[in-house]
Amino acid sequence: MEEDLAKLWNKLSLTKEERYELVITEQDVQVTTEKRKLCLVRKFIADKRVNRDAFKSTMMKWKATTSIRIFDVGENLFLFEFKSDKDMCKVWEGQPWMFDMNLLCLKMFDGLTPPAELSFTHTNLWVQFYNLPFGCMNKKVGTRIGNSIGRVTQVDSNGNGNFWGRFIRVLIEVDLMKPIARGKMMDLFGQLTFVQFKCKRLPRLCFKYGVIKYAKGGCVGHSSLESTGMAKTKQYGSWLRASSSGPNFEFAHNLGN
């Protein structure tokens, strides 16, 4: 409804009084400008309205050192006001967050954009890269692979840039409007290798198009997939979700003398 009203005014013939431009100065917004530094805006990427009371009750269970105030500012849209920068950073760095398997997409609050004009088309996901040769399990290769499907914001590696384990874990800002990447063909000195991807805490996903559900009535349709025939069979599945059985870390053992 808010989006419809925001678009409607462009088509209206405004009266003289309505056309008069009211100037808002920096002094007028000084109080809220300071508060915005401790605020995040969160949007549910869901095709139905979420239970607000259940959501608020769940979010209050976050292990914050201070209280968090939650404001309902639109359909499936909430503003979080923190009392400490530490708590806000903890929530921001803990992405992705989910509620009832639906993605909770976060944005920093700038204080100037109307709620209806906020864009929630990207989110951070931890993607695990499997089937990599040991020689490629380093920060540089992980960054190159990650940047081929989104924007890398962090690579989980040890101090010298290597990571010996079952996979490389990379935090990537991905486009929610595009199908989730299932893997990547890699040419290693002339030898082709398919690197499989899995996502940690992957939210609800359309197994037909591989898109995180985004619009009312289901996911965003992709005519390009229809034309290739990929959508006729399920090309995506729960196997894209990474196991939560345990972390990928190095077991250090001191043998002694």
pLDDT(86) > 70: yes
Q: What is the pLDDT of residues 189-213, one digit of tens each?
A: 888 989 999 998 888 888 888 888 6
* pLDDT score recorded for residue 181: 92
* pLDDT score recorded for residue 32: 60
Please name which of 162, 169, 170 lies closest in space to residue 134, comparing C-alpha atoms.
162
Q: When comparing pLDDT for 11 and 98, which is higher? A: 98
Q: Pick the range with the lowest mean pLDDT from 21-30, 36-45, 197-206.
A: 21-30
Task: Identify the residue whose tokens are 């499997």.
Answer: 130
Q: What is the pLDDT of residues 228-251, one digit of tens each?
A: 555 567 788 889 998 754 445 444
- Domain 2-117 matching CATH 3.30.70.330: the answer reads yes
Q: What is the pLDDT of residues 120-135, one digit of tens each?
A: 889 999 999 999 888 8
Q: When comparing pLDDT for 25 and 51, which is higher? A: 51
Please name which of 219, 184, 217, 177 lies closest in space to residue 198, comparing C-alpha atoms.
184
Ramachandran angles phi, psi of 211, nearest 5°? -110, 140
* pLDDT score recorded for residue 252: 43
CA-based Rg of the chain, rounded to a whole angstrom? 22
The domain locations on the chain are 2-117, 122-240
Reported as a pLDDT band with limits 50, 70 and 90, residue 29 is low
Q: What is the pLDDT of residues 154-185, one digit of tens each?
A: 888 666 666 778 899 999 999 988 899 999 99
% of residues, the chain, pLDDT over 90: 16
- Non-local CB neighbours of 180 within 8 Å, separated by 6+ positions: 174, 197, 199, 202, 205, 210, 211, 212, 236, 240
Average per-residue pLDDT in the chain? Answer: 78
**CA–CA gap between residue 41 and residue 44 (Å, rounded):** 10
* pLDDT score recorded for residue 152: 94
Q: When comparing pLDDT for 194 and 255, which is higher? A: 194
